[in-house]
Structure 1
Amino acid sequence: MVDNVILYRAPSTVADVDEVGDWLEARIDAAVTVRDRFLDVHRTETLAERFAEARVSSPYERDTGNTMLGIVRYEERALENPEREGGVLYDGLQVQRALNSALLAAERGLETLHVPILDRAIGTWGDHDGRWHKRVNVLGQPALVSVPGLYEAPAKPDAYYKEQQRHALLSGDTPPREVLENQVEGEFLIEDDPRTTDALCGYVLQAYHYLETGESFCERETCRLYNAHYHEELIDAQLRDPQFCTAHARLYE
């Protein structure tokens, strides 16, 4: 049984983790506290190298990691100045193991759930198609929730990718994501979206629900516990009423 949930702020993002904590505490029996950035609170001497080992080098290569001195130095700078980090995908399971080992032994038990809100993109390897997939969260201890993943992991509307291909054919290059987002109509979240905090609430609840019940996700698309694969689904599940399916409403409303 989860008695305590500890959320960790992501100061380089627009996510208001204190607001997420208030939302969560009103719905669960566990005590909820909010701490500063996980990578500051639980910094270890080997953390930069562990992140270097978790770097994904190619979307289609299972092996990860580059521990050359320059890469480790980059990761050290990213720990000190998180606003300078970006454009790197990390193996979420490797990062999870690294952060678990950084926890204090007294807080590592499953009665205390740690949820770092991260400013880094994380992914998991898909054995079914031989490629990496970006994720919003990786459940377990600690449960990772990625703010960039909220914008980048779910697939955008078809019009987005058609416009991307059209630009590539005309110019020979892919335009910046920001340009496409401004040109394509459709419902999807963009970087620094004002709906970020609200959308993250459901993903944090998924982390608690998994550790408390063993159930990973809900199959109903209109429930906060649904694992959305498309932005339209994410918006339906996280930003529209009802917040929960009938079964999970009994637990969390």
Structure 2
Amino acid sequence: MVETVTLYRAPTTVADADALADWLRDRIDAEVRVRDRLLGAVDDTLAEEFAAARVTDPHEQSTGNTMTGIVRYEERALASPERAGGIVYDGRAVQRALNARLSEQSLDHLHVPLLDRVVGTWGDHDGRWHKRVAVLGQPTLLSVPGLYEAPAKPEAYYEAKSKHALMTGDTPPREVLEADVDGDFLVADDPRTTDALKGYLLAAVDFLDTGSAFCDDERCRLHDAHRQPGVVRAQLRDPAFCEAHGERYG
């Protein structure tokens, strides 16, 4: 059983780690701690490991570019995270790198860093990388930008994007599409970000306790929705949990 959860802040995002911790404390019988950014106090070789974890082709499983300039970029991004962006990293590789740097290693102590990076996992079933909100395990990675980018947006979003490109020959700014397209979906720096991450955080605890990854019930906060309307339904609408998880966490 999980006895301690340590949640790490991502200060360049709108995710409120303290509010997440308070919500989690009401639902599990464990100590919940909040610490500063995990990537802010690491050794000098982490930049090279991030460079090696870069996804360079969405359809190639091999990753990484450790040329000096790329490693220098990652060093700057670790020091000044507001300068990072636009890159997808192999979530399992990042997980291994951070696991090796955890100061407290035990089976009953879960570490959950909120990340300002986009992470993904390789899909053997379709031969491409998939962006993820959460990469469960030790530590569990919660990608804040992944919450906006990983789940697919409503069909109307992509239809409007194609129509604009057909008429103008270029890609419309994201802000234009988000303003013009009806439908409920999360956008960058969405004020609902903290609420939407709660179920993913609890799923991390549930996975370590039970070995079960996410819930099949689309109405449950422990469900890993693949489309934005599904995220909104699972995380921001009633009921909060399916019957089984409601008995456990409700």
TM-score, normalised with respect to structure 1: 0.97
- Tell me the secondary structure at the aligned position of residue 122 of structure 1: strand
- 1:127 and 2:119 aligned: no
Aligned to 1:30: 30
Q: Residue 225 of structure 1 corresponds to which residue in structure 2?
A: 222
**Equivalent position of 1:162 in the other structure:** 159
Q: Distance in 2 between matches of 1:232 and 1:103?
A: 35
Residue 191 (str. 1) matches residue 149 (str. 2): no
2:5 corresponding residue in structure 1: 5
Any residues of structure 2 matched to 1:83-232 within 5 Å, and which? 83-104=82-103, 107-232=104-229
**Cα deviations by residue, 1:77-107 (Å, 9 ceiling, x for unpaired):** 0001001100000000000000001112xx1
- The one-character-per-residue Cα deviations of 1:135-175 (angstroms, maximum 9, x if unpaired) are 00000000000000100100110000011111111222212
Counterpart of 1:102 in 2: which secondary structure?
Answer: coil
| CA distance, structure 2, for counterparts of residue 164 and residue 110 of structure 1 | 46
Which 5+ residue runs of structure 1 have no aligned equivalent?
none
Q: Distance in 1 between matches of 2:38 and 2:144?
A: 14
Residue 248 of structure 1 is matched in structure 2 by 245
Q: Work out the CA distance in 2 between the residues paired with 1:87 and 1:163.
A: 22
Question: Residues of 2 paired with 1:45 and 1:140: CA distance?
Answer: 24
| AA partner of residue 2 (structure 2) | V
**How far apart, in 2, do the equivalents of 1:173 and 1:99 lie?**
39
> Counterpart of 1:103 in structure 2: which amino acid?
L
Q: Which amino acid is the alignment partner of residue 66 of structure 1? A: N
Deviation at 1:176, TM superposition (A): 2.2
Write the distance in 1 (CA, Å) between the matches of 2:173 and 2:110.
37
Residue identity in the other structure for 1:69: T
What is the alpha-carbon distance in structure 2 between the residues aligned to residue 6 and residue 121 of structure 1? 21
How big is the alpha-carbon RMSD for the aligned residues of Structure 1 and Structure 2? 0.8
Instruction: Find the aligned partners of 1:60 and 1:174 in 2 and give their Cα distance.
Output: 22
Match of 1:76 in 2: 75
Percent identity between matched residues is 65
State the secondary structure of the residue aligned to 2:100. Answer: helix
Hey, what's the Cα distance between the residues in 1 that align with 2:45 and 2:87? 19
Alpha-carbon separation, structure 2, partners of 1:38 and 1:80 = 12
Distance in structure 1 (CA, Å) of the matches to 2:219 and 2:227? 13
Indicate the SS of the match to 1:86.
coil
